[in-house]
Amino acid sequence: MPFIINTAPSRPPESVHLVSDVERSILVNITPPAIQYRNGVLKGYIIYYSATSDDEPTLYNITTASTVARLSDLQVYTEYTVWVSAFSRAGTGPQSEGSKMMTQESG
């Protein structure tokens, strides 16, 4: 039987799709890395986000086991940049390229 070494995912998620469907939130849809780059069983995703226009942006993150997550309590009519990393028991893989989405206007 071959010896298998578990390592962190070697590639970021295949894609990150953002939707601003309600005021003050962004829906994040994640397509996992291709199976050959997962290097074991994925345990979930770390979603990093910040307001794009901030001079010194505060970086927030959430961890989820799902490929769909909602970022809530955001500022209205503000552009956010979102990055995602997949993780396994062995560690966290590289971040995706930043995706940008504007939250909806109030009212």
DSSP 47-60: EEEEETT-SSPPPE
How remote is the C-alpha of 32 from its chain's centroid?
10
Residue type, 48: Y
Distance, CA of 85 to CA of 98 (rounded, Å): 11
Per-residue pLDDT of the chain (107 residues; tens, 9 = 90+): 555 567 999 999 999 999 999 999 999 999 999 999 999 999 999 999 999 987 777 889 999 999 999 999 999 999 999 999 999 999 999 999 999 999 998 86
What pLDDT sits at residue 6? 77
Question: Residue 13's pLDDT is what?
Answer: 98
Q: What is the pLDDT of residue 77?
A: 94
Q: What is the predicted pLDDT for the residue at 106?
A: 83
Per-residue confidence (pLDDT) for residue 85, from 0 to 100:
97
How crowded is residue 31: how many other Cβ atoms within 10 Å of its Cβ?
Answer: 13
CA distances from 49 to 10, 57, 61, 89 (A): 21, 9, 6, 23
How many CA atoms lie less than 13 Å away from 92 in the CB half-sphere? 11
